[in-house]
A and B are shown apart, each in its own frame.
Chain A
Amino acid sequence: MRLGIAVQLAALLALVGALAAGLTGFYANAASQDLLVASAQNQLLTSTQVLARRIAITREEISRDLRLLASHPAAIATLEQRDAARADEVATLFGLVMQANPAYVQIRLVSADDYGLERVRMDRRSTTIVRVQGEDLQEKGHYAYVSETLKLHAGSTYLSRISVARERGAYEGSRKPALRLAMPVANGQAQAIGVVVIHVELEGMFALLAADLPADFHLFLANGQGDVLIHPDPDKTFGFDKGRRVLVQDEFAPTGAIVKGEVDQVIFDAVDSVDGPPMIAAFVVHRIEGPSEERRLILGLARPLSDVLAQSRSLRTTIAQIVSGLCLACLLLAIPLARAFTRPINAVSLAARRLSSGLPPGQLPLERQDEIGSLARSFRDMRSQITRQLADLQTSHAELEHLARHDTLTGLPNRRLFEERLDQALAHARRYGEQLGILFIDLDRFKSVNDECGHEAGDAVLEAVALRLKTMVREADTVSRLGGDEFVVLLRTPGPQGHLGAIADKLLQGLEEPIAFRQLQLRVGVSIGISQYPRDGQTSIEIMARADRAMYTAKSSGRARFRFASEEMPG
């Protein structure tokens, strides 16, 4: 099937439109996703930094609590004087602090002597805070949080390694990750006479820190060596404690640079993570100032990539709708556009077809100022030129035709036209049983007029004879000049022979009248031979020949008379 320009053009326009809309949509979608991921990464990094800052603040807050407790006169008195009343006071104080801080699971006052014997100890047991007393108090001198803290200056905070507490009886159900912060208690001589130890549960602390993070954020915490401490999968935490180290740099290769201390923060797409969905993640290092078994912590937040990209879903739908709408609009626009474009072309084409059929051209887009207008105007000019030339041609053709069939001098039909008309008349008469009459007329004194008065006079005579003959016969009859001074008249349905004779008489008389030529009155007579169809012959040759002979007979009989061919003996 051949497709018209309109269809091809419409298809092309629609295709180009759809392609443009589709590409725009695709790149808009891609760009929006990249933007979303980049902004999500920045958001993650900021959140992680905020979290790290909050850890520092939390540590400062714990230090403030420690300072308050370690410098409290009741604590110093309890250690120095072993005063039970003051110990009760300290216990009350510890209890209040624990009530205010849900992440504190234990606070103790430990003496430097008696091998680090606990003097006051408050344990959190599920919902209540319980004081441990008497024989249940333990010696803790062999633990670093006591021995190392005692070496510190007053007011310095000791931070233990973050680990799973194994210490039996530290507090009930204590198998949870925790860290201990401790501060020496100094007497008046600035000697460390004991320590205050706060036991902080890691989960409780981070639950508070991360409370306002979005639900799909995953929190990661690792120590300076990369050992995972907090992970969405609890099986991966404290691997070193279970004999199988789980390192953050194994889990997320890009964090290796942080563990090595090369960079302080990394952002990455964890698309290659072995298990779990692709994530985007931000990790930062958090340095711990002051005496601590943990010099650095590595803190990270991750989000599933799908959650980030989910935000672009509505945008993607909108883009898809816009693209579909544009495609449809392109298609709808392409059809009338293609039509508008091809309609004037079709008009010109139609005009060309009508031209060849000789019909008027119809509406042409002549007023347009573009190429199509120019084409239409050219076509119009070409068409009018052709029309003009054709008219000229027809005129000359008609003239030639007239010349070929008429006598130039008299304007009468010549022999050729006469013979045609005679043949037509014969055919008609034969068919309808009609009769025809032929009057063969020859001027009698034409030669002498010519010789005596000149050719101009001869011509005037011939013109005058022709005029008189035409006026004297019916319009249906044909008067013709056969040549020289010979004329012939074809009479249709002449009637009886007498009627023919009357016509011949009338002609004889009419042509006897003198013809004025300048000052001369020229007189020429005529001789007429008459033949009839069907009586004198069947063919035009026969009839003409009989009329011609009858004319000669009339002439030889004394001129100025007529003779019927039927009156003669067939020669």
Chain B
Amino acid sequence: MDRLRFDRRRFCLALPALATAPARASAEVLRVLAWPGYADPDVVSVFERRTRAKVDVTYIDSDEAMWQKIGSNNGRDFDVFAVNTAELQRYIRRGLVSAIDEKAISNRGRQLPRFRDLHAIPGLVHDERVYAIPYTYSEMGLIYDRRQLPREPDSVAALWDTRWRGKVIAYDGGVHSFSLAAQALGLGSPFELNDKDWPRAVERLIALRRNVGAFYTQPDESVALFRERRAALLFANYGSQQLHALEAAGIDVGYAIPREGALAWLDCWAILRSARNPALAAAWIDYLLESGPGQVLATRQGLANTTSASEHYRAASNLVWLEPVESEERRNGLWSRIMAGDRADRVLSS
């Protein structure tokens, strides 16, 4: 059917994108900035069918990347995003997020009582206005290979243990890394470093870098590295999500909460001030609190949701919920030098 093909081609030449373009342009677009696993395609498509809007998802893999993406155009490139309670504070300070109309999120009634009381969660309510709705949470524990580590690591110091040199997988993120260093140094607060603490923390992190085999930013990447490098220890920035993925990959791993306490994050959905359609953004948040997306989060990603009790969450565990740090910029600036391989003098002289 050469001839037929030929005709079709001519037809297509004659009718450039006219046929398809208007249909796409007319649909409203919701621009979502999310972490891996928060907006899987099947979850998105249900929402798209329901609202006839198109959801445009961009993924980030670090707090710093999110801050840059949103900040680069004063938040105008996105409508709704997922951020942890500590990071949220700098967005509120910069006036990038808007208050959420709680009544528009009817599924808040389905949330567990401790997530329903927004005043009880630090950082969500300012001047009686709600800025974010809790979505998922995890602690950043230590994942270890049970065959290489006979005993569960009981301290973050395990990451510095030269026995595992080259077999430690760590997360490439400045803020959490300095918190981790503060914990290792036994400082009072992992979120508030004093002037005299910086050189020590930098020294600790250079030592960590020298002990680490590879750094990751994405959960999938960490799983691949853990397997390929036959790693012994992993600092799980994504917590139970990574544990779930490693177990699914058939690796015999354990999960430990260090005695210094595991840093823990609570990710919430927030709406940007410059959102094109705040009602659509609120509908997105409301939809994600339904049982369908909640189930996907729990069973596929191994992440806790806020509407049902989590098997991963240990209320009695020693958790250190993230708080705003003294300076994200400073931590990230130093960290980028450390990651580049600079030695202490060079890092601190910057």
Contact = CB atoms under 8 A, between A and B. Distances in A.
A242 B346 contact: no
A139 B210 contact: yes
Given A147-B213, A243-B61, A244-B58, A169 B16 contact: no
Chain A contact surface mostly: loop
Contacts of A143: 214, 341
B345 to A, nearest CB: 6
A136 B350 CA distance: 12
Given A135-B345, A274-B17, A144 B58 contact: no
A83 B148 CA distance: 40
B319 to A, nearest CB: 28
B59 A135 contact: no
A243 B336 contact: no
A115 interface: yes
A306 B343 CA distance: 57
Nearest to B225: A144
A170 interface: yes
A169 B209 contact: no
B190 to A, nearest CB: 23
Contacts of B13: 278, 305-306, 309
Task: Sort chain A's interface into a size bin.
Answer: 20 to 34
Contacts of A30: 3, 6
Contacts of B130: none
B6 A34 contact: yes
Nearest to B12: A271
A141 B215 CA distance: 11
B147 interface: no
A142 B59 contact: no
A272 B57 CA distance: 24
Interface in A270-308: 271-272, 274-275, 277-278, 305-306
A271 B343 contact: no
A114 B87 CA distance: 36
A224 to B, nearest CB: 13
A167 interface: yes
B9 interface: yes
A144 B214 contact: yes
Contacts of B58: 242-244
A170 B6 contact: no
A116 interface: yes
A351 to B, nearest CB: 54
Contacts of B315: none
A138 B340 contact: yes
A131 interface: no
B59 A278 contact: no
Contact of B343 (A37, A139, A141, A243): A139
A271 B2 contact: no
Contacts of B60: 243
Contacts of B16: 277
B212 interface: yes
B26 interface: no
A2 interface: no
Nearest to A272: B12
A505 interface: no
A271 B6 contact: no
Contacts of B8: 271
B346 A142 contact: no
A272 B19 CA distance: 11
B273 interface: no
Interface in A250-277: 269, 271-272, 274-275, 277
Nearest to A38: B2
Contact of A305 (B9, B17, B209): B9
A415 interface: no
A33 interface: yes
Given A115-B210, A278-B13, A168 B61 contact: no
A277 B9 CA distance: 12
A243 B69 contact: yes
A116 B341 contact: yes
Interface in A337-369: none
Contacts of A244: 57-59
B20 A34 contact: no
Contacts, number: 79
Contacts of A147: 166, 213-214
B317 to A, nearest CB: 30
A140 interface: yes
Which of A118, A140, A168, A244 has the most B CB atoms < 10 Å from its CB? A168
Interface string A474-514: 00000000000000000000000000000000000000000
Contact of A243 (B3, B65, B209, B213): B65
Which of A135, A136, A168, A243 has the most B CB atoms < 10 Å from its CB? A243
Contacts of B342: 138-139, 169
B212 A142 contact: yes
B337 interface: yes
A167 B17 contact: no
A429 B346 CA distance: 164
A172 to B, nearest CB: 13
B43 interface: no
Interface in B298-345: 336-337, 339-343, 345
A33 B13 CA distance: 13
Interface in B46-74: 57-61, 65, 69
B340 A170 contact: yes
A118 B60 CA distance: 31
A140 B8 CA distance: 56
A275 B336 CA distance: 38
Contacts of B69: 243
Contacts of B343: 135, 138-139
B234 to A, nearest CB: 14
Interface string B209-226: 110111100000000000
Contacts of B346: 135-136
A275 B340 CA distance: 40
A144 B61 CA distance: 20
Contacts of A37: 9
Contacts of A116: 341
A167 B339 contact: yes
Contacts of B345: 135
B209 A278 contact: no
Given A167-B340, A274-B17, A243 B9 contact: no
A170 B340 CA distance: 8
Given A136-B346, A243-B60, A278-B9, A168 B337 contact: yes
Interface string A144-181: 10010000000000000000000111100000000000
A147 B9 CA distance: 52
A280 to B, nearest CB: 9
Contacts of B5: 34, 269
A13 B5 CA distance: 33
Nearest to A135: B346
B9 A271 contact: yes
Interface of B: 2-3, 5-6, 8-9, 12-13, 16-17, 20, 33, 57-61, 65, 69, 166, 209-210, 212-215, 336-337, 339-343, 345-346
25 contacts: A30-B6, A34-B2, A34-B5, A115-B210, A136-B346, A138-B340, A139-B209, A139-B210, A139-B341, A141-B341, A142-B214, A143-B214, A147-B214, A167-B340, A168-B337, A243-B65, A243-B69, A244-B58, A269-B5, A269-B9, A274-B17, A274-B20, A278-B12, A305-B13, A306-B13
State the 8 A-B residue pairs at the shortest beta-carbon distance, nearest first: A138-B341, A168-B340, A243-B59, A139-B341, A271-B12, A243-B58, A115-B210, A169-B340
Given A139-B341, A142-B212, A269-B5, 20 more contacts: A30-B6, A33-B6, A34-B5, A34-B6, A135-B346, A138-B341, A138-B343, A142-B215, A142-B341, A147-B213, A147-B214, A167-B340, A169-B341, A243-B65, A271-B9, A272-B12, A275-B17, A278-B9, A305-B9, A309-B13
Interface of A: 30, 33-34, 37, 115-116, 118, 135-136, 138-144, 147, 167-170, 242-244, 269, 271-272, 274-275, 277-278, 305-306, 309
